[in-house]
Amino acid sequence: MSITIALTLENYGISQFTNQNFNSIFRLGDKCYGVDEDGIHYLCADDDNGIDVDAYVVTRLVDFETQTRLRNVYVGYEAESDLTLEITADEGIPFEYILPANKKGQVSQGARVRVQHKQMGRYFAFKISNNNGDDFSIDSLEVTPIEQQRKPR
């Protein structure tokens, strides 16, 4: 498997593109292009020669500085089909939640997810991925943490 890595200089965001043999990617106006030994390719299709384009966003680890559990996670987003939210605590097993499709015109919607009580940790990571290669955008991710009381020794 090959990986192409792109860096957005405006916010230092890193994107990875798998199964592409591009040696560079660039944006001209609002259109993206990939470059390989065969030339320049316009990246515009909803699929990759009939194969769904899997996409996801992963946050870096969030340090809550103490044992914490999450009460809710609110995600502001637009999606043509259901999205999957994975929450991982302390690099353990991720818990999966479904964010329902909500694309209704150009108005961004959102969903609140009640997080399972048994998922606790100090460090949390969040991953949002598409299903069936459908388009989505993420506007916000907010969490309601609950600090856990430490038991006396």
CATH of the domain at 98: 2.60.120.260
Domain match, 71 and 107 both: yes
- pLDDT score of 104: 63
Query: 35 with 41: CB under 8 angstroms?
Result: yes
Per-residue pLDDT of the chain (153 residues; tens, 9 = 90+): 677 777 777 777 777 777 777 888 888 888 888 888 889 988 776 666 677 777 888 898 999 999 999 999 999 998 888 999 999 999 889 999 999 988 766 556 788 899 988 889 999 999 999 988 888 888 899 999 998 876 545
Tally of domains within the chain: 2
CA distance 32 to 36: 14
Domain that holds residue 108: 56-147
pTM: 0.74
Domain match, 24 and 96 both: no
Which region, left, alpha or beta, applies to residue 102 given φ > 0 means left and ψ of -120 to 50 means alpha?
A: alpha
Helix (H) or strand (E) run with residue 122 in it: strand 120-129
Give the CB-side neighbour count of residue 73, counting CA atoms within 13 A. Answer: 26
Is residue 49, in this structure, part of any structural domain at all? no
Alpha-carbon distances of 72 from 75, 127, 150, rounded to whole Å? 10, 15, 21
- pLDDT score of 135: 82
Domain match, 96 and 36 both: no
CA distance 135 to 78: 8
Domain match, 61 and 19 both: no
Domain match, 64 and 110 both: yes
Task: Tell me, rounded to whole angstroms, the distance of Cα 146 from its chain centroid.
Answer: 23
